[in-house]
C-alpha cells in the first residue's frame, strides 16, 4: 500500500503551474497559502492580488488536472482569497541566483569564452557560488574548456535539469545535449525557447553569480535573454585592435537599447608574454579596451595578457586560474573580478 502523500510532493506538482501573466509558478510567487491533504478531501487556499476570475478559473483547472492523477488525494476543494497586500513579483529573476552577468563581444575570435571561464573560476576561487551558462548555441565551447567533451547525460527530475558540476562550478552548455559534429539549424523562435528552458528549467540552486557566455553578434539569443530575464549587467570583451572595437560598439549599443547596464570592458590579448624570457609585447594596437570603455561610459575592468599557458589551459580543460592561481593571468582576472564587483554595487 502506498504511503501517505506529503505536502512537499503536492507543492512539487504545483510548481508545474505557471501564472499566465507572470510566467512563474504559483509556488514561487507565494500564491499557495495553505494545503490540507486527506484521502477523502484535499483543501487548497490560493491567494491572488485581485479578483480576476479568468485567471482563477484557468489556475483551478490546471491544479485539478495535475493533482487528480496523484494517489492519496481525495476530493479537491480550491478556494481563492483576494489579498491586496500580496505583491506578485513580476521581475524575471532565476530563483536562488543573486547576480546574472552576460559576457558579450559583438564578434567572434576575441576570446570571450576564455574570459567567461576564467572570470567564473576567479570568483569560485574566492569562495563564491558560481554557475556558467553557455548560450552560444551554434558554437558552444565552454564544455571543452572545462574538460567536458561530447554529449553527456544530465540528471533530470520533474521536468527540471541539473547542471554538471566541475571544479566547484555549475555548468550547462548546449554541447551537452547534441552530438559535437551535429550542426544546429534553428530559427529565431526555437532559439528563444531553448534559451528560456536553459534559464528557468535548470536547477541552479543558490548562486552568487551566473555568468552567461553569449554567442557573437547581436541576434536572437541576445534579444531573448534581455526579454526573458532581468540581467544585472553585461561585460564587453574586446581585443585592442580597431576592428574588434567596431563590433564591440555594436554590442554595447544593443545592451543600451534593451536597458541592460554595461558593467565594464575587458581587453583580452592586451599583450603577449614570452614563455622564455617573460617579456611582454603588444601584438595589436594598444589602448582599445580603454577607448571602448570611454565611448560607452563604462569602466575599464582590466586587460588580460596572452600566454602560452593560457592557450594550453583552454585545450587541457582546466582554467588557468585554477592551474596557476598565483600567476600573472590569474592576478589579472582577480583584478577584473574586483572591479566588476565594485561596478555591480554601484548599480544595486
Q: Which residues are annotated as a binding site?
A: 106-113
Instruction: Please name the residue that has the C-alpha cell 541576445.
Output: 222
SS3 state at 186: coil
Alpha helices in the chain (DSSP H): 7-14, 53-67, 112-125, 142-145, 188-200, 220-228, 242-257, 288-295, 308-316, 320-323, 328-347
Residue numbers in the known binding site for ATP are 106-113
| Structural Rg of the chain based on CA atoms | 23
Task: Give per-residue burial for 235-248: e unless 16+ CB within 10 Å, then b.
Answer: bbbbbbeeebbebb
Alpha carbon 348 to chain centroid distance? 18
| Distance separating alpha carbons of residues 202 and 176, to the nearest angstrom | 13
| Distance separating alpha carbons of residues 103 and 113, to the nearest angstrom | 8
**CA atoms 44, 49, 50, 52: torsion sign:** negative
Contact between 212 and 101 under an 8 Å Cβ cutoff? The reply is yes
Contact between 220 and 188 under an 8 Å Cβ cutoff? The reply is yes
- Residue 264's region, left for phi above 0, alpha for psi from -120 to 50, else beta, is left
Report CA-CA distances (Å) from 276 to 272, 311, 323.
Answer: 12, 15, 19
DSSP state of 183: -
Residue 276: other Cβ atoms inside 10 A = 6
- Residue 211's region, left for phi above 0, alpha for psi from -120 to 50, else beta, is beta
Amino acid at each position: 500500500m502506498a504511503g501517505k502523500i506529503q505536502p512537499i510532493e503536492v507543492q512539487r506538482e504545483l510548481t508545474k503551474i505557471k501564472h499566465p501573466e507572470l510566467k512563474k509558478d504559483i509556488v514561487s510567487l507565494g500564491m499557495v497559502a495553505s494545503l490540507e491533504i486527506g484521502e477523502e478531501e484535499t483543501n487548497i487556499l490560493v491567494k491572488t492580488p485581485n479578483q480576476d476570475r479568468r485567471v482563477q478559473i484557468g489556475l483551478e483547472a490546471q491544479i485539478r488536472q495535475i493533482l487528480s492523477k496523484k494517489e492519496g488525494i481525495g476530493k479537491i476543494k480550491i478556494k481563492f482569497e483576494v489579498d491586496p497586500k500580496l505583491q506578485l513579483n513580476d521581475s524575471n529573476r532565476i530563483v536562488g541566483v543573486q547576480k546574472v552577468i552576460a559576457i558579450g563581444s559583438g564578434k567572434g575570435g576575441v576570446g570571450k569564452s576564455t574570459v567567461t571561464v576564467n572570470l567564473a573560476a576567479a570568483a569560485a576561487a574566492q569562495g563564491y557560488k558560481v554557475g556558467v551558462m553557455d548560450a552560444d548555441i551554434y558554437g558552444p565551447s565552454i564544455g571543452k574548456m572545462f574538460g567536458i567533451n561530447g554529449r553527456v547525460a544530465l540528471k533530470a527530475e520533474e521536468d527540471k535539469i541539473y547542471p554538471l558540476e566541475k571544479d566547484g562550478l555549475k555548468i550547462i552548455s548546449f554541447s551537452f545535449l547534441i552530438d559535437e559534429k551535429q550542426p544546429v539549424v534553428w530559427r529565431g523562435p526555437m532559439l528563444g525557447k531553448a534559451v528560456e528552458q536553459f534559464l528557468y528549467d535548470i536547477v541552479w540552486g543558490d548562486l552568487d553569480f551566473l555568468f552567461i557566455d553569449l554567442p557573437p553578434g547581436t541576434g536572437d539569443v541576445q534579444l531573448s535573454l534581455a526579454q526573458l530575464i532581468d540581467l544585472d549587467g553585461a561585460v564587453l570583451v574586446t581585443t585592442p585592435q580597431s576592428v574588434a572595437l567596431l563590433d564591440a560598439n555594436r554590442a554595447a549599443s544593443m545592451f543600451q537599447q534593451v536597458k541592460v547596464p554595461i558593467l565594464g570592458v575587458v581587453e583580452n590579448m592586451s599583450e603577449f608574454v614570452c614563455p622564455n624570457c617573460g617579456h611582454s609585447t603588444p601584438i595589436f594596437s594598444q589602448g582599445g579596451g580603454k577607448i571602448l570603455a570611454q565611448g560607452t561610459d563604462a569602466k575599464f575592468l582590466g586587460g588580460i595578457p596572452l600566454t602560452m599557458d593560457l592557450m594550453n589551459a583552454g585545450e587541457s580543460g582546466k582554467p588557468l586560474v585554477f592551474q596557476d592561481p598565483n600567476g600573472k593571468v590569474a592576478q589579472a582576472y582577480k583584478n577584473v573580478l574586483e572591479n566588476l564587483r565594485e561596478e555591480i554595487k554601484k548599480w544595486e
